Amino acid sequence: MSTITELLDRWKRGDRSVEDALATDIYPVLRELARTQIRRHGGVLTLRATELANEAYERLHLQQGVDWQNRSHFHAIAATLMRRVVVDYLRNRTAEKRGGGQLFVALDEVQQRDAPFQGDQVDWLAVDQALTEFAEAQPDAARVVELRLFSGLTKEEIAEVCGSSRATVGRQWRFARAWLAERLDIVPGDEDEP
């Protein structure tokens, strides 16, 4: 088990002495995930990476009941938390502006391999809503999308977290991209790799 996993496991069992070490090991990982999200969302997120990482850390701190399995599992949970933070931020911002703000980011600001589909712009709130709907029918494929977009895990790590093969992850990715593109009325790109 990785150091992070060991620390999380001790913390779950009530060992408060590991909290400083846990923050020291986890915070840089969350900050890097936050930087990725800030870059991915372009001008949509006016948060700084530090603010996003702080919010994700606070939410992670509430996950004491999780049975931490390994570093990839930690990244999977962090991806879910990061998604929630980003979506909550965008929803709050939209509510404040009552529709006056742009919720779109040009896809050329998103690395092609990370985008769920091709097009001129991505409405991340619509993506979240569609992904939530998709998860009801295809939870495994939806998890692959969430991990790809919000965790920074490699294909192999996604397969490990999902308990499946790299080929299965690739099929689920392609299926999810096609479904999301249809649901969001966007022409999908040629990319096959997750």
Residue pair 169/144 in contact by the 8 Å Cβ criterion? yes
pLDDT average, residue stretch 12-33: 84
Residue 90 counted as domain residue: yes
Residue 15 counted as domain residue: yes
Q: How far is CA 112 from CA 136, 148, 175, 185, in A?
A: 26, 12, 17, 18
**Can you give the residue range of the structural domain that contains 133?**
3-183
Q: How far is CA 127 from CA 15, 90, 181, in A?
A: 39, 12, 10
> What span, in angstroms and rounded, lies between the C-alpha atoms of 173 and 93?
30
- The length of the chain is 194
Residue 67 counted as domain residue: yes
3-state secondary structure 179-194: HHHHHCCCCCCCCCCC
Residue 95 counted as domain residue: yes
Residue pair 169/194 in contact by the 8 Å Cβ criterion? yes
pLDDT tens digits, one per residue of 23-38: 888 888 888 888 887 7
pTM of the model: 0.65
How many domains does the structure of the chain reveal?
1
pLDDT tens digits, one per residue of 59-112: 887 877 777 777 777 878 888 888 888 888 888 877 665 444 443 333 334 444
Can you give the pLDDT at residue 43?
63
Residue 70 counted as domain residue: yes
Residue 188 counted as domain residue: no
Residue pair 142/162 in contact by the 8 Å Cβ criterion? no
For the chain, state the CA radius of gyration. Answer: 17
